[in-house]
Amino acid sequence: MEEKKSPVVYLAVVGASKASPEIYDLAVAVGRQAARRGWIVVTGGLGGVMEAAPRGARETGGLTLGILPGGDRGEANPFIQVAVATHIRHARNSIIAHTADALIAVDGEYGTLSEIALGLKLGKPVIGLKTVWNIPGVVQAESPEEAIEKAAALLKRET
Amino acid sequence: MEEKKSPVVYLAVVGASKASPEIYDLAVAVGRQAARRGWIVVTGGLGGVMEAAPRGARETGGLTLGILPGGDRGEANPFIQVAVATHIRHARNSIIAHTADALIAVDGEYGTLSEIALGLKLGKPVIGLKTVWNIPGVVQAESPEEAIEKAAALLKRET
Amino acid sequence: MEEKKSPVVYLAVVGASKASPEIYDLAVAVGRQAARRGWIVVTGGLGGVMEAAPRGARETGGLTLGILPGGDRGEANPFIQVAVATHIRHARNSIIAHTADALIAVDGEYGTLSEIALGLKLGKPVIGLKTVWNIPGVVQAESPEEAIEKAAALLKRET
Amino acid sequence: MEEKKSPVVYLAVVGASKASPEIYDLAVAVGRQAARRGWIVVTGGLGGVMEAAPRGARETGGLTLGILPGGDRGEANPFIQVAVATHIRHARNSIIAHTADALIAVDGEYGTLSEIALGLKLGKPVIGLKTVWNIPGVVQAESPEEAIEKAAALLKRET
């Protein structure tokens, strides 16, 4: 009677709410490739990297989840299909880290760093793409392709 | 360039994690009818009413969202398609109230009461189906059909 | 080497952020008598009942704790000695319920009702003073004295 | 009528729940000196650095606040005078960052890094004492004295 759960992967793409065109395009590419693998793309639901990754995922027909800091679903960017209005502000970073199977950080600022830290704390694979900090435990990638492949490889190793 | 946001309705169905067969069936029917209207069904993602409503929604091809108290998506019941692992325990009740456009409480215990209260606090329509408390502001319904219709009518009035 | 922990009681006094003079005075009296027993008075830290109870407690030299919805300690009323800036809005109601050994609700609106519900959910004694709802599990009291005495009796029974 | 609020400083001392004797002693010294200045010492309330700093503060008669990840005040270490049981796990790191005027990180692991990141995100002075990461924005200190002095200087500049 019960549906069989497909072992779908939730990938969090974390980064700043404002992004240069270069960073924005990288995050779009990450989202596009994640969706091609059938992964759900999770972000904080606002602008910049949080918008670019679901934009890429939607182009490829992927499912996107936004975990918003505020209390109004309307603050989600238009590429978020399922929006969660937390109203717990920065504390929602912890929800993103818990919900994700793996995290890819694209560039990023301090909020991103807190998500990287919580992802590592929870033992999730964390990939850094153009991140400025050198945090032991973060796996560096040079391109969206490499980031996705490294995430996939680390997720496979876990199971 | 941006996708047009459809004004999709998020309906929270709140109730206890253990349900009698009668209550379970009522919640299934609520979920079924919500999905027929194209609404997303949101619950706390565990058992009882939290499982019955998404079960009904899935039968009808609806989208279901579970906002879990724990930190592991695996605790979601099998009818949840998109699971959010909050790890903030009862504090996630507030997220359910914020995320929902309207709430239907089916029977329920104290956790449910906190969700009813927060829904009312936020000015959301709250429908009670077989709820035991008499809380001013909660609209009573006698059947799943009536509950859904009253929620729809109250949502229409808002816009 | 370690200090002996005194089994100090944390009493949450919950109620609306706006209070009539009558309700305000009742909450002051609750705070005063809690402090006389050496209890720490916990509130949401804003106005109305959340201000009155710590005001009463401070008159009697008691310790007061405010668990604020916002992210700035400055929003605490002047009778809060130790302020916690949660920035998780209504989700902080759950923290109040967890932190308290017992709750006294004075009048109150929907936010208060959510705290009553969470207190009952957690099995804490919950006393109602001039509360409008009739929630099974809430112990009614007619005066601040009776509210404090009933809380004390229920706490004694637990240990 | 209202009490005059003293502009008391809340200092968060963040670090791992397990600490070497050397790190433990550094955190004790930080707590001791903070208390001498009349500052409230805030930690996550568990072991290691979270225990050492309030231990130092209590030796000097200071006030200590523990913001716990769990739902039971009993998990606080014995040097915490005012305990807040959040039950929101890692999400409480955000509450520590909001509640503090400044943060001193002593050594630390990934949870600490998330607190450093959130402190910087919120524009709070963040001092690092024996921290392993090199995060732009963190002010390095070589001793507890220097850490406290730098925190005091940065707080003065703000006002």
* Mutation target among D28, D84, D122 for the C interface, most CBs of C within 10 A: D84
| DSSP letter for each residue of B77-102 | -TT-SEEEE---GGGHHHHHHHH-SE
Q: Closest to D90 (Cβ–Cβ): which among A94, A111, A137?
A: A94
Indicate whether this complex's ipTM tops 0.85. Answer: yes
Selection from C49, C48, C38 nearest residue C13 by Cα: C49
Neighbours of chain D (3+ CB pairs under 8 A): A, B, C
List the chains bordering chain A where 3 or more Cβ pairs fall under 8 Å: B, C, D
Say if residue A80's pLDDT is above 60.
Answer: yes
Burial (CB < 10 A; 0-12, 13-18, 19+), residue D36, is middle
Note whether A110 contacts D134, CB cutoff 8 Å. no
Sequence-distant (≥ 6) Cβ neighbours of residue C132 within 8 angstroms: B136, C107, C108
Query: Which of B109, B122, B135 shows the shortest C-beta gap to C133?
Result: B135
Cβ within 8 Å, pair B94-A87: yes
Quickly tell me which residue has 């007061």 as its tokens.
Answer: C64
Q: Give the residue carrying structure tokens 């804003």.
A: C46
Contact B40 A91 (CB under 8 A): no
Distance CA C57, CA C64 (A): 7
Nearest CA to D94 among A94, C89, A108, B92? A94
- In whole angstroms, give the CA distance from residue A15 to residue D89: 23
Q: Which of A24, A98, A101, A158 to mutate to test the interface with B (most CBs of B within 10 A)?
A: A98
pLDDT of residue A15 exceeding 60: yes
Could you read off the pLDDT of D3-45 as tens digits, one per residue? 444 579 999 999 999 999 999 999 999 999 999 999 999 999 9
Give chains near B: 3+ CB pairs under 8 A: A, C, D
Do the Cβ atoms of D85 and C78 come within 8 Å?
A: no
- Token pair belonging to B36: 């027929």
Cβ–Cβ of B86/A72 closer than 8 Å?
A: no
Interface of A with B in 55-114 (CB under 8 A): 58, 63, 65, 67, 71-73, 78-79, 82-88, 91, 94-95, 98-99
CA angle at residue C87 from C25 to B72, to 5 degrees? 120
Residue of B98, B113, B122 to mutate, testing the C interface (most C Cβ within 10 Å of its Cβ): B113
> Which chain C residues have a beta carbon less than 8 Å from that of B97?
90
With a CB cutoff of 8 Å and minimum separation 6, the contacts of C107 are C15, C16, C19, C20, C23, C26, C49, C129, C130, C131, C132
What whole-number distance in Å separates Cα of residue D141 and Cα of residue B106? Answer: 57
Contact call for A82 and B3, based on CB within 8 A = no
pLDDT tens readout for residues A24-76: 999 999 999 999 999 999 999 999 999 999 999 999 999 999 999 999 999 99
Each residue's pLDDT expressed in tens, for chain C with a length of 159 residues: 444 445 799 999 999 999 999 999 999 999 999 999 999 999 999 999 999 999 999 999 999 999 999 999 999 999 999 999 999 999 999 999 999 999 999 999 999 999 999 999 999 999 999 999 999 999 999 999 999 999 999 999 875
* pLDDT in the model for residue C2: 46
